[in-house]
Amino acid sequence: MGSAEWWSIPDNLRDLDAPLFCWGRWAKPVLWHSARGAMVTVLGAAWFVGTIALSLVPVVLFVVLVVAGIGAVGYALTRAEAKKTQPAVA
């Protein structure tokens, strides 16, 4: 097994200050699984509500759209804050 044990954390995951999706080779699988989980959750919620009261499905889709919009705005604000330049010290 070499110097690393099977249970040890990979070196690129040790930096806890790194953003969630900046893990190099781990980024794509994490995003894929997150997106798949989100899609399954939305479809499952719509299906579940549709079996109980079909008239409430548009309400579920609206709530999902609002939550996704809030997430998109938060992500955009986070990206904008990260791109701010530090003031030069004279």
What's the pTM value of the predicted model, to 2 decimals?
Answer: 0.56
Higher pLDDT, 55 or 77: 55
Q: Which two tokens stand for residue 55?
A: 């008239």
Compute CA 37 distance to the chain's CA centroid, rounded to the nearest angstrom. Answer: 10
Chain centre distance of CA 86: 27
Interval 20-70: pLDDT, tens = 555 566 666 777 788 888 899 999 999 999 999 999 999 999 999 999 999
Q: Kindly give, in sequence order, each residue whose CB lies less than 8 Å from that of residue 49, ignoring residues fewer than 6 positions away.
A: 56, 57, 59, 60
